[in-house]
Structure 1
Amino acid sequence: MPEATFRTRLRRAALVAFACLAVPASAMAWNNKPVRMLVPAPAGGTMDVMARLMAEQLSTDLGQPVVVDNKPGGGGAIAMTALLSAPPDGQTLMVTATNVLTEIPHIQKTPYDTMKDIQPLAAVGRSRMVLVGAPTLPAKDLKSLITYAKAHPGKLSFASYSAGTASHYAGAILNQEAGMDLQHIPFPGSSPALTQVMGGQIPVMYDGMVTSLPMIRAGKLQPYAVASKTRSPLLPQVPTFAEQGYPDIDFSNWVGVIASAKVPADMAQKIHDAAYKAATNPKVRERLEALGYEAMPVQSLQELNQSLHAEYERNAGIVKAFHIRP
């Protein structure tokens, strides 16, 4: 090979090597390494199913592995610790419901500060709250349920999927605004609480749509009101609390992708775009809706952050106003 040609090729190789070194690590992420997707729940639950749907579609879109890593326990604290301990390069993400970020920190000590340590990257599916009751309850609508509760003072109760959650908040607010005195009975999750409600041991529960919807459709629960300003497309026949005079009872959780607040802005935007591309895939959306989630519109990073912080602050106010404790 002529010496001049050799020198030319050597210079080109050096330029390519320099260019690679000059590219920030965050810009090279999601191109040549597996992505780890943490889930603060056991395998098999609805949050895990959503994470696996997203991981599968992202793997297809990106052409690289996206590995789901279940880390349940501690109200999300175990998974969150793993997220914040990982390098903030975008290779470790988390799929979670917002109650881990906006409810749990108000009633238990957590190893993270939602307002400082976390950034939401994509809100994929929303689960509204719904008031459900045992099929044997004589009350068939919210007005008659309130009348029935007042006719049995001190004798009725409501279940929640945990103390200090929106499921608890909604009951406290309706008690106050409707003049009822239903006693709060918290459970470690929706499933054990719903079992008690369906069996008639506890009259009613404020629950997420995802877990209650299959039971409503099967006739094992009767719905009284949806906790939102507008009716749910999944239960269009059920009126909202707002329609029935209780606009303050407006609660829902979204499940989506979050990352450490230290992940650089360009990397965060890249993940945002990829996550929403996966979430809007027709097959993914159809599966999410079958699980009881409502598809959500694409939001900017700024909108997601503002929404999350507003929900956090609102819940802090409710906890203080109603003296809610674990």
Structure 2
Amino acid sequence: MKRRTLGIVLAGFMAMAALTGCAGGAKSGSTGLPKTIEVQVPAKAGGGTDVMARALTTQIAKDAGINMTVVNNTDGSGVVAMETVRTAKPDGSKILQFHTSMLIKTATGVYDKAAADDFKIIGVSKGTEKAQYVLVVSADSDMKTLDDFLAKAKGGEVKLGVETGGTSHIIAGLLAKAADLPLKYVEAGSDTEKLTALVGNTIDAALVNVNQAKQYVESGKALALGVVSNGDEGARSSVLPDVPSLQEQGVDCTFATMNLFCGPKDMSDETAKQLYDYYAAAAANDEVNKTLEPAGMAMEFLPYEDGQAAVKEQQDTLNAVIDELGLKQK
């Protein structure tokens, strides 16, 4: 696939002068970080992950007085970007921004390395939105409530649209496990494609992002049966606040997409922590959130010390679900 590189040069003249005056020209005198950092992003330019990466790096470049270059690298379904960073010098000059899909690729065997074991976890963030996915059916479906869905699904009669091996498929597996449902999974593509198939009655139900579902629910084309909370408290979505969570309705199914910021495994704690501090500050910046909040991408970072354990825990969960779904490549 085509790789697109866009440099973000945001330091002013005085900051650049200070950088070029550093010993050897390799490090920023004010931060100790490389004066230019390349951020590998396994996502297309203009998409949500790309928008998030650019909003964060723009602010960090200002705060740190360095240059940050976002490289949209989708080659090999993201494997090339991950390997580019894994095998890079551990000085912070090349880092990775991805999300839970990285862990899914490991669990399915698409990628033979693991974030928690083969990379330095710089930071982990979660969206401030407490429920990112919602179970929807067509407005003319005979399933009007979650109980209706569960009853019909227990009889093996529900065709649930998924993107095979994607996040919706994983959540569907968690739902099936939590409620002991013999769901029939049907390949339906992206969230937009799932919703089109739902309205066209070629699938019976789907799990889609709340932002994608909102217009269909509000226009009366789809009915939301329950949102998937990202934690044990069973919180609702701010996008669809009137829709109860699955947990509220007695189904213990949760899922949280994590944003991962990684470097080469041998990166020092000092460098990783410094990068973490800049990223966490950028995520809390009002100007950054003018971009992230309307897109439903506002985030908060876990404490630096908790990042690796959180990644390992989610990896273990995904490994188990993908094994049950039979998605592990032989």
Counterpart CA distance in 2 for 1:213 and 1:265 is 42
Q: Which has the higher helix share?
A: 1
Q: TM-score, normalised by structure 2?
A: 0.79
Q: Indicate if the aligned counterparts of 1:89 and 1:263 stay in contact, CA closer than 8 A.
A: yes
Kindly indicate whether residue 311 of structure 2 is the aligned counterpart of residue 308 of structure 1: yes
Counterpart AA for 1:67 = T
Unaligned runs of 5+ in 1: 1-18
Counterpart CA distance in 1 for 2:307 and 2:277 is 13
Counterpart AA for 1:95 = Q
User: How many angstroms does 1:114 deviate by?
Assistant: 2.2
Q: CA 1:187 to 1:310, structure 2 compared with 1: closer, same or farther past 3 Å?
A: same
Counterpart CA distance in 1 for 2:220 and 2:48 is 21
Q: Indicate if the aligned counterparts of 1:131 and 1:206 stay in contact, CA closer than 8 A.
A: yes
| Aligned counterpart, 1:106 | 107
> What whole-Å deviation, never above 9, does each CA across 1:184-203 have from its counterpart, x for those lacking one?
02355433333322433212
Identity %: 23
CA RMSD of aligned residues (A): 2.9
Kindly indicate whether residue 282 of structure 2 is the aligned counterpart of residue 278 of structure 1: yes
User: How many angstroms does 1:321 deviate by?
Assistant: 4.1
Counterpart AA for 2:206 = M
Counterpart CA distance in 1 for 2:216 and 2:42 is 25
> What whole-Å deviation, never above 9, does each CA across 1:205-227 have from its counterpart, x for those lacking one?
12334544455455544322122
Kindly indicate whether residue 266 of structure 2 is the aligned counterpart of residue 258 of structure 1: no
Q: Indicate if the aligned counterparts of 2:100 and 2:258 stay in contact, CA closer than 8 A.
A: yes
Counterpart CA distance in 2 for 1:309 and 1:121 is 14
5 Å-filtered alignment, 1:121-270, equals: 121-126=122-127, 128-149=132-153, 153-163=155-165, 165-178=166-179, 180-213=181-214, 215-217=216-218, 219-228=220-229, 229-247=234-252, 249-270=253-274
Q: Indicate if the aligned counterparts of 1:210 and 1:293 stay in contact, CA closer than 8 A.
A: no
Counterpart CA distance in 2 for 1:218 and 1:263 is 50
Counterpart CA distance in 2 for 1:97 and 1:158 is 24
Counterpart CA distance in 2 for 1:144 and 1:294 is 34
| Aligned counterpart, 2:7 | none
> What whole-Å deviation, never above 9, does each CA across 1:16-39 have from its counterpart, x for those lacking one?
xxx958xx9799876562211111
> What whole-Å deviation, never above 9, does each CA across 1:121-147 have from its counterpart, x for those lacking one?
233442633222223323232112223
Q: Secondary structure of 2:176's partner?
A: helix
Counterpart CA distance in 1 for 2:90 and 2:215 is 39
Counterpart CA distance in 2 for 1:207 and 1:117 is 31
Q: TM-score, normalised by structure 1?
A: 0.80
Q: Indicate if the aligned counterparts of 2:108 and 2:319 stay in contact, CA closer than 8 A.
A: no
Q: Secondary structure of 1:227's partner?
A: strand
Deviates more, 1:108-117 or 1:90-99: 108-117
Rg larger in 1 or in 2?
1
Q: Secondary structure of 2:257's partner?
A: strand
Aligned residues: 301
Unaligned runs of 5+ in 2: 1-21
Counterpart CA distance in 1 for 2:176 and 2:113 is 32
